[in-house]
Chains A and B, each alone.
Chain A
C-alpha cells in the first residue's frame, strides 16, 4: 500500500514476494561464542536472497501477540520517525518470545547538517545467557535486514572484520532513511525480529533500544540515542554481562 509501484527496488521486491514464500529461510540462530559475531542476512537487499526472511509476522506459527506500541523517535528535540514494536509469546512454551521492531523515518533535519536521520543499526537487549534467533519481514520496506549479531558495535564502530561480542545486545544492521543523500531511500525498515527466552516475562526499559546513525567518514560524526523498548526482564546493567546458561 504505501510503497507499491513507487520504485524499481520496491517493484522487484513486490514481484518476488510471492515466489519467495516457499523459499524464505526464516529465523537464523546468532552465535553466542567466538569471534564470528555477525550473521549475514541480505546485505544487498536482493529479492533473490531469502536468508533470514519471513513472509508474515511473526514469521512462525504458534505465537500470540501479547504487546504492541508505537512511539515517536526524538533526537535533538526533533521527531525524526516512529518506532513500532510488537511482542509475541509462544502458545505452549510461554517463556519463548519474539520481539519485533520497525522504524519509519521522516525527512525532518535532525541537526545543523540539514540531513535526515539515517538509521544504520538498531540494537535491542536480550538476556545474555539465552539463545537468540533473528529474522526479518520486509512488509513494504525497500531495504532488507543486512546483518545481525550479538554486539553493541554498529556500522563503522569497529575496525576488525567483526565487532566486539556483547551478548546483552542484538544488533540489526539496516538502512532506513526517508531522504538518502544518494541512492534509493527506504523510509521504513523491515520488521526485525528476535526470538529468545524471557523466563520472568517482559517489560519496557526506558533505555532499551539504541538507534545509531554512523554512515560517516569520521566515526566521531556518528550520532546515536537510546529510547524505550520492550525487553526480557532481568537484562543485566552495563558491565554486568553474566552468563546464565544456554537455551532458547
Chain B
C-alpha cells in the first residue's frame, strides 16, 4: 500500500528532475564562512522544477578529470545498509591536475534493498537495529573540508540529481528522487539545528549536504539513491604526490529521526584534501 501510494509521486519527481534539471541549473554555490551556516537549496515540500541554487549540470564538471574512485560499504551495527561512491576530481588533463589545485570531492550513496536479519520484520532492507524495524535513513552527509574556525577556506557546493532510473544500479546512470534541501559548513543535521542555523552551529571544517535517502521511507517516497553531492576547494598540499588522502572519519552519515527513527551517527573513512 505504501509503495503503491508513493510510486506516482516518486515517478513525478523523477520525471521532473529529469526534464528540468539542466535548464534550471545555475552552477556552484559558495558556502558561507561566517554567521548562520546553511544555504537553502530546495527544502521539502520540494519545488519542481527545482530552484537553481547549487544545481549543477554535467557540463559544470567539464575540464575535471577523475583522480580517485572507490566504493565502500555503509555499515551500521555490523550490517551493510548501503554503498558509498566516493570520488575525487580535479581540474586537469589526462591524469595530471593543473596548477590551480582545484579539487572536487564527490559523494553518492545507494541504500541496500536486500533483507538481512529477521526478513519477516521488514522485507525491504537489511535490519540494523534491535529496537526498530525501520530501514536506515540518511538525512545528512558531512565531508571533511580544508579550513579551521579561525581560518576558513572557501568551499563551493553543488549537486546533480543524476539520470536514468531511480531504481538503477549504476552510480553514473541512476536518478535521485529527492532534492538537496540545504548545504553549509556545519557538523549538525536534521533535528540538531533549525535552518539556517546560528553562528554557534557553524563548523568550517565540514561541508554538510541535507539530502533524504531511504530505500523504504516512512514518509511514503522512497529514494534509494542520493544525489551526487560535490564540494570544491583549493587543495594545494601534497607536492608532487596526491593532494588528497583516504582519511579516517572523513564522512559522516546522520539519521536525524525525520519520522521518529532513532538518531544515529555513523562515520567512516573517505577521501579528503590533505590539510598540510
Contact = CB atoms under 8 A, between A and B. Distances in A.
B248 to A, nearest CB: 8
Given A220-B263, A237-B121, A207 B129 contact: yes
A225 B249 contact: no
B118 A237 contact: yes
B169 interface: no
Contacts of A210: 130-131
Nearest to B73: A77
A209 B131 CA distance: 10
Contact of A238 (B131, B192, B268): B131
Given A77-B268, A111-B249, A207 B117 contact: yes
Contacts of A221: 265
B267 A238 contact: no
A152 to B, nearest CB: 6
A49 interface: no
Interface string A49-67: 0000000000000000000
A33 interface: no
Nearest to A114: B249
Nearest to A208: B130
Given A207-B117, A220-B191, A225 B133 contact: no
A241 to B, nearest CB: 11
B76 A238 contact: no
Interface in B227-257: 248-249, 252
A152 B132 CA distance: 12
Contact of B128 (A77, A152, A226): A226
A112 B249 contact: yes
B94 interface: no
Interface string B113-140: 0000110010000011111110000000
Given A220-B191, A237-B118, A207 B268 contact: no
A77 B269 contact: yes
Most buried by A among B75, B131, B133: B131
A76 B268 contact: yes
B260 interface: no
B249 A220 contact: no
B195 to A, nearest CB: 16
A208 B269 CA distance: 27
Given A76-B268, A77-B268, A152-B131, A206 B249 contact: no
B133 A239 contact: yes
A226 B249 contact: no
Given A111-B249, A111-B267, A238 B132 contact: yes
B63 interface: no
Nearest to B127: A207
A77 B75 contact: yes
A185 interface: no
A207 B131 CA distance: 9
Interface in A181-217: 205-210
A96 interface: no
B132 A220 contact: no
B130 A207 contact: yes
B117 A206 contact: yes
A223 B264 CA distance: 7
B77 interface: yes
A152 B268 CA distance: 26
A76 B267 contact: yes
Question: 7 smallest A-B Cβ distances: which pairs?
Answer: A207-B130, A112-B249, A226-B77, A226-B130, A225-B77, A76-B267, A111-B267
Interface of B: 75-79, 117-118, 121, 127-133, 144, 191-192, 248-249, 252, 263-269
8 contacts: A77-B268, A111-B265, A152-B131, A207-B117, A207-B118, A210-B130, A226-B129, A238-B129
